[in-house]
Amino acid sequence: MTGDQFPLWAAIAVSVLLVAGSLLMLAGCIGMVRFRSFYQRIHAPTLGTSFGTIFILAGSVVYFTVTQLRPAVHEVLIFVFVSVTTPVTLMLLARAALYRDRIERVQDVPASKDPLDNAEMQTSKKPS
Amino acid sequence: MSQIILFWSVLACEAILALAMACAAYRLARGPRAQDRVLSLDAFYVSGMLLLVTFGIRTGTTLYFEVALIIGALGFVSTLALAKFLMRGEVIE
Amino acid sequence: MSRVLPYPLLTLSLLIMWLLLQQSASPGHILLGLAIALLASRAMAALQPEKPRVIRFLPIFRLAGRAVVDIMASNIAVSKLILNPNSDMTKSGFLTVPLELKHRFGLAILSCIVTATPGSAWLEYHPEESEVLIHVLDIENDQEWIDTLKYRYETLLLEIFG
């Protein structure tokens, strides 16, 4: 943090964006703790990866644009990367969880419509 | 004045993110099943990445942003590999 | 064109990403980035992915706008649910939504939007019945979720990919 000529409005904007983003991330992680089932918990991290990330990166963009320490381009890359990868991860994890729950016949998970999967479940054993 | 505001807000942001990581770590330890742990590991990675971005703001260097990108990429790949492993019991089919 | 540059858009975005990472647009970096982008798109061509055919471009921006607005609204709703200590955590459930969209890229985009929305998650797509299984946090407004999926997103995606 260099220079005393950093304008007050920019400081307030950066602070609000940073705190708002981190609070969203915290809300998501509290959700991880509070939710009862896995399928509820899968919604929790998206709070942090959608607008939590956007707010913190926007705060960083404002800070580096005002101080002109460097052009704010890395934030764009991080945003693109996070917004592309998170849905992919969550979908794959959700499908893995569905598969495991169906094999173990857990609780109220909807049955698979794929006959191949059903045949496989007759023969396969419980995963550990 | 703005210096003080920035210092404390970045500090608060880091503390909140650390708290978020603690919540994710609690779920990582509690489970109850493997998919819950993998999910919380993913959330842990994302909060760690955001923490590095705030470090970058504090120090004003580009270095932390590159580290954040690498952490993001590593988190993505490791979560995918773990999800694949949970699905079939093998990483490469 | 097709031999040298199999995927012009991919090559261009790889070059841009290289320049962003290097934070410079000097001729040397442009040359190096171009070489890497060309090699990488050759490698992509070896995988022979199906090329997306976009029929109309304008609805893409409307789709992006709608997705951002919905994700913002869902962020607020889900944070309220999590942070309110008296909220009912048992209202979530599974939903099966029939879809008309069959285009693979359209389905991929739809699944990313649905999963990126905090209140909903895409679980499984059944190609035979062309149905999708989603999980929503707020099952009481189930018709609202189905309407959002079908009329807000699917119609636009059908316009884009035909």
Residues 6+ apart with CB under 8 A from C136: C92, C93, C95, C119, C120, C121, C142, C145
Q: Is B93 a member of any domain?
A: no
Which residues of chain B have a pLDDT value below 70? 90-93
A73 neighbors C20 (Cβ within 8 angstroms): yes
Q: pLDDT band for position C4 (50/70/90)?
A: low
> What is the domain count for chain C?
2
Tell which residue, A110, B36, A37, A106, has the closest CA to residue C94.
A110
A78 neighbors B68 (Cβ within 8 angstroms): yes
Residues forming a β-bridge with C131: C98, C126
Q: Which residue of A has its CA nearest to B22?
A: A29
CB contact A47 to C (< 8 Å): yes
pLDDT of A120 over the 70 cut? no
Q: Is C53 a member of any domain?
A: no
Separation of alpha carbons C114 and C111, rounded Å = 5
Give the pLDDT of residue C145. 81
Which residue from A47, A110, A113 is facing C78, i.e. has the nearest CB? A47
Q: pLDDT band for position A128 (50/70/90)?
A: very low
Instruction: Identify whether residues C34 and C62 lie together within a single domain.
Output: no
CB contact B63 to A (< 8 Å): no
Contact A11/B86, CB-based, under 8 Å?
no
Please report, as a single letter, which amino acid is at residue A86. T
Give the pLDDT of residue C2. 59
Residues forming a β-bridge with B91: none
Contact C94/A39, CB-based, under 8 Å?
yes
pLDDT of A125 over the 50 cut? no
pLDDT of A119 over the 80 cut? no
Instruction: Identify whether residues C82 and C145 lie together within a single domain.
Output: yes
User: What is the three-class DSSP state of C82?
Assistant: helix
Comparison of pLDDT for A58 and C92, the residue scoring more: A58
Q: Is the ipTM of this complex over 0.90?
A: no
- Tell me the three-class secondary structure of chain B, residue by residue: CHHHHHHHHHHHHHHHHHHHHHHHHHHHHHCCCHHHHHHHHHHHHHHHHHHHHHHHHHHCCCHHHHHHHHHHHHHHHHHHHHHHHHHHCCCCC
Q: Which of A23, A76, A91 to mutate to test the interface with C (most CBs of C within 10 A)?
A: A91
Q: Which residue of B has its CA nearest to A5?
A: B2
C136 neighbors C118 (Cβ within 8 angstroms): no
Which residue from A18, A59, A89 is facing B42, i.e. has the nearest CB? A89
Q: Is B20 a member of any domain?
A: yes
Q: Which residue of C has its CA nearest to A109?
A: C94
Give the pLDDT of residue A112. 67
Which residue from A15, A33, A57 is facing B53, i.e. has the nearest CB? A57
Q: pLDDT band for position A126 (50/70/90)?
A: very low
Instruction: Identify whether residues C111 and C146 lie together within a single domain.
Output: yes
Residue C132 burial (10 A CB sphere; 0-12, 13-18, 19+): buried
Instruction: Identify whether residues C73 and C134 lie together within a single domain.
Output: yes
Which residue from B39, B47, B53 is facing A48, i.e. has the nearest CB? B47
Residue B67: count other Cβ atoms within 10 Å of its Cβ. 16
Range scoring the smallest mean pLDDT among A17-21, A38-42, A100-104 = A100-104
pLDDT in tens, C57-114: 788 888 888 888 988 888 888 888 888 877 777 777 888 888 887 788 888 888 888 8
> What is the domain count for chain B?
1
pLDDT of A4 over the 60 cut? no
Residue B86: count other Cβ atoms within 10 Å of its Cβ. 21
Give the pLDDT of residue C26. 82
pLDDT of A73 over the 80 cut? no
Q: Is C123 a member of any domain?
A: yes
Q: Residue C85: is the preceding peptide bond cis (ω within 30°)?
A: no
- What is the per-residue DSSP string for C14-34? HHHHHHHHHT---HHHHHHHH
First to last CA, chain A: 51
Contact B5/A82, CB-based, under 8 Å?
no
Give the pLDDT of residue A10. 84
pLDDT in tens, C109-147: 888 888 888 888 888 888 888 888 888 887 777 788 888
Across C102-154, where does the E strand assignment appear? 120-126, 131-136
Residue C78's domain comprises 58-161
Comparison of pLDDT for C46 and A88, the residue scoring more: A88
Q: Which residue of B has its CA nearest to A67?
A: B60
Task: State residue A47 phi and psi, 5-degree precision.
Answer: -60, -50
Q: Is B25 a member of any domain?
A: yes
User: For residue B40, what is the domain's CATH number?
Assistant: 1.10.287
